[in-house]
Amino acid sequence: MEVIVKKKFNVYIIGASGFGREIESWISLSNNFKNRFLIKGYLDDNIYALDSYPSRYKVLGKIDDFQFQKNKDFVLLAIADPTIKESIVGRLKNKVNFLSFIFSNVIIGKNVTIGEGTIIAPNCVLSTNINIGPYVTINLGTHIGHDSTISDFSSIMANVDISGSVKIGESVFIGSNATIVPRIIIGDKTKITAGSIVLNNLPEYSFVFGNPAKKMSKPIIKPRIFLSSPHMGGAEQKYIQDAFDSNWIAPLGPNVDNFEDSIVKYCGVKYAAALNSGTAAIHLALILLGVDRGDEVIASSLTFSATLNPIVYLGATPVMVDSEPGTWNICPETLEIAIKSRLSKGRKPKAIIPVHLYGMPANMEKIMEIANRYEIPVIEDAAEALGSRYNDKQVGTIGKIGILSFNGNKIITTSGGGAIISDDKELITKARFLSKQAREIAPHYQHTEVGYNYRISNILAGIGLGQMEVIDKRVIQRRDNFDFYKKNLGKIEGISFQEEPDNSFFPNHWLTTILIDPEETGKTWLELQAELEKENIESRPLWKPMHLQPIFSTFPAYLNGTSEELFSKGLCLPSGSNMTEKDRMKVLNTIINFFTK
Ligand SMILES: Cc1ncc(COP(=O)(O)O)c(C=O)c1O
């Protein structure tokens, strides 16, 4: 009589090329597996991957497009390349269960542990006291000796002989027929080519071949850890697709309107005009306040040049003001000294531009009090500070006008873009008008003012809409990076952080920046940057103050020494919201090693 067992779980094989086909054949020989699991098919980023192989199962679609049922669906990782495995596990970890498959004839000794998502092919022998991590692949006929460890994501190909007490790091690849002699330690990400005989320990990222195994002359490039790279939320492509489907490819369209609405809601401001850059937003803000040739505009000196460039576009003079030590932003006392000095020369500044540097709110209460007293409008440069609050108000909404940037490295990005925000309807209406070539309402093309081509496109606004869905998460992630660095580096003598002076400041911590005191540590930011670079980790010095820049050095500046001191000590650390725990640990360990060696 035939016994029919109800199959409870679905299994998808990830990877439809050669290794997937091998796994398919092993499964077909395993009644135990077939009784419990129903193979639904393959998933692969290349949906034609199976074309060259006959198979019982189809490629059902691309890995990221597939909708899994968390309680029912399992995947088998039929991938040999450790880096690809890492990427797939990162993408699917919370969406689906990873199944381990150990062929029934594998000999397993005492005290062997095997992690999830691991595949062990027929004819392997695992001796005693062995620890095999998750997402490991062990191909046909491989032998693993006693007391050995194979760490996460590593792939050991066919007929490899690993002797006793060997330690294999994470994401190591060992080619077929290689031999590893006893007690060898192999560092993470190492590649050992087929047939190699490994007689010596190998540091991480080694690439070896031959008997005895020697280093290849071409080093493996360590994957770069970026300062702040774009981090998509997932919905962006849907909004872009909407634009394509409705043929709203040309400038403006529903994505722009909706993006502006989402900015208005999130910032708690009445009006927003989405533009093609933060620099364009500053330029228009200055025009809206009537800044013209010969006028003066006060701006923070410690900033990116884009804060000052538009002042010069208009033929006006930037007057630079130094920072305060607490927030690193424009110093209220020095600001007032500057205003008094300009007034005494008969030159009343037309605007003040405080900057919320690296997401830290400027000291807005004092700045607004001074600005109101002297009746000078404030343009807040919140390019780096979406999600930062001062006294519970989104920065950029406290002065008369605020500007935001959605440049590629900002907390959210439209690849390039910006916005001008204000509670003043007339100002924002005028900004929209100027940003569309100042075209008057008329049956023909009519212009009475100089216009600009500064609007964002409907496509880029679609990216912005997707990004606005995850802005809260991004703020949490960036702030968590800051807490992580602070907790782990804060005790090193001579390192300090850009910390909020009190709880009226809520920074988004766009970039975590540290100050390194050369006297206390005996080291400089430049040396740390070089050390990080050796590990392919990007970092960046603090903005060089504008009064030190050749292009602005002839303009008036009111200084107190703070920005120069910050510049001499500061380094911005990798702060992306998409950094993995492993990335953060790597940056941290590199910094700790640097300071303790
Ligand atoms: C402080 C500051 N202001 C202005 C800008 C200009 O923004 P965008 O690059 O969008 O023109 C940036 C960023 O690039 C910035 O960091």
* Burial of 446 from C-beta contacts in 10 A (0-12 / 13-18 / 19+): exposed
CATH number of 472-596: 3.90.1150.10
Where does 69-142 have alpha helices with state H?
Answer: 82-92
Mean pLDDT confidence for 158-185: 97
pLDDT recorded at residue 520: 94
Mean pLDDT confidence for 299-327: 98
pLDDT digits (tens, 9 = 90+) for 198-240: 999 999 999 999 999 998 876 667 789 999 999 999 899 999 9
CATH 3.90.340.10 fits 107-215, yes or no: no
Q: Provide the terminal-to-terminal Cα distance of the chain, rounded to the nearest Å.
A: 72
pLDDT digits (tens, 9 = 90+) for 253-283: 899 999 999 999 999 999 999 999 999 999 9
pLDDT recorded at residue 50: 67
Q: Give yes or no for a cis peptide into 501 (omega within 30° of 0).
A: no
pLDDT digits (tens, 9 = 90+) for 521-538: 999 999 999 999 999 999
Q: Which of 384, 405, 406, 572 to mutate to test the pocket of ligand 1 (most atoms within 8 A of CB)?
A: 405
Handedness of CA 345, 347, 352, 357 (dihedral sign): negative
pLDDT recorded at residue 596: 87
Q: Residue 163, CB half-sphere, CA atoms under 13 Å: how many?
A: 11
d(CA 442, CA 450): 16
State the CATH class of domain 9-102: alpha beta
pLDDT recorded at residue 43: 92
Tokens at 32, concatenated: 């135990």
Ligand 1 centroid, distance to 304 Cα (angstroms) = 7
pLDDT recorded at residue 5: 46
pLDDT recorded at residue 6: 56
Higher pLDDT, 6 or 161: 161
- Output the CA torsion 156→157→163→168 (10° steps): -20
Q: Find where tokens 């990005």 sit.
A: 413
Full-prediction pTM beyond 0.75?
A: no
The answer to whether the beta carbons of residues 304 and 357 sit under 8 Å apart is: no
d(CA 29, CA 24): 9
**Which ligand 1 atom minimizes the distance to the CA of 303?**
1
pLDDT recorded at residue 274: 98
Q: Is the pLDDT of residue 3 over 90?
A: no
Mean pLDDT confidence for 90-95: 84
**Which ligand 1 atom minimizes the distance to the CA of 280?**
11
The answer to whether the beta carbons of residues 227 and 481 sit under 8 Å apart is: no
pLDDT digits (tens, 9 = 90+) for 421-462: 999 999 999 999 999 999 999 999 999 999 999 999 999 999
User: Count of CB atoms within 10 A of residue 590's CB?
Assistant: 18
Q: Find where tokens 């030159």 sit.
A: 347
Domain residue ranges of the chain, discontinuous segments joined by +: 9-102, 107-215, 472-596
Q: What is the DSSP string of 184-237?
A: -EE-TT-EE-TT-EE-S-B-TT-EEETTTTEE-SSPPPPPPBPSS-----S-HH
* Among 584, 570, 559, 399, residue whose Cα is nearest residue 478: 584
Largest CA distance in the chain: 105
User: Count of CB atoms within 10 A of residue 554's CB?
Assistant: 9
C-alpha distances in angstroms, 200 versus 148, 183, 214? Answer: 16, 9, 9
Q: Which of 297, 303, 304 to mutate to test the pocket of ligand 1 (most atoms within 8 A of CB)?
A: 304
How are beta strands 513-516 and 570-572 bridged, if at all? antiparallel
* % of the chain with per-residue pLDDT over 90: 84
pLDDT recorded at residue 46: 74
Q: Is the pLDDT of residue 348 over 80?
A: yes
pLDDT recorded at residue 7: 62
For ligand 1, atom 12, name the residue with the nearest CA: 383
Ligand 1 centroid, distance to 281 Cα (angstroms) = 9
With vertex at residue 492, the alpha carbon angle to CA 571 and CA 582, rounded to the nearest 5 degrees, is: 65
Ligand 1 centroid, distance to 164 Cα (angstroms) = 57
Q: Find where tokens 């400038």 sit.
A: 251
d(CA 175, CA 185): 17
Contacts 24+ apart (CB under 8 A), 156-164: 157/80, 157/194, 158/121, 164/127
Ligand 1 centroid, distance to 51 Cα (angstroms) = 49
pLDDT digits (tens, 9 = 90+) for 59-88: 888 888 888 988 889 999 999 999 889 888
For ligand 1, atom 9, name the residue with the nearest CA: 407
The answer to whether the beta carbons of residues 198 and 174 sit under 8 Å apart is: no
Q: Find where tokens 């890995």 sit.
A: 63
Which residues lie below 8 Å from residue 192, measured CB to CB, with a gap of 6+? 172, 173, 174, 175, 178, 180, 186, 198, 202, 208, 209, 213
pLDDT recorded at residue 55: 76
Question: At residue 31, what are phi and psi to the nearest 5 degrees?
Answer: -65, -40
Q: Is the pLDDT of residue 472 over 70?
A: yes
**Which residues form ligand 1's pocket by a CB distance below 6 Å?**
277-279, 303-304, 306-307, 355, 381, 383-384, 405, 407, 418
The answer to whether the beta carbons of residues 162 and 178 sit under 8 Å apart is: no
**Which ligand 1 atom minimizes the distance to the CA of 282?**
4
C-alpha distances in angstroms, 371 versus 332, 335, 368, 504? Answer: 10, 9, 5, 20
Ligand 1 centroid, distance to 305 Cα (angstroms) = 8
Tokens at 284, concatenated: 């228009």
pLDDT recorded at residue 52: 64
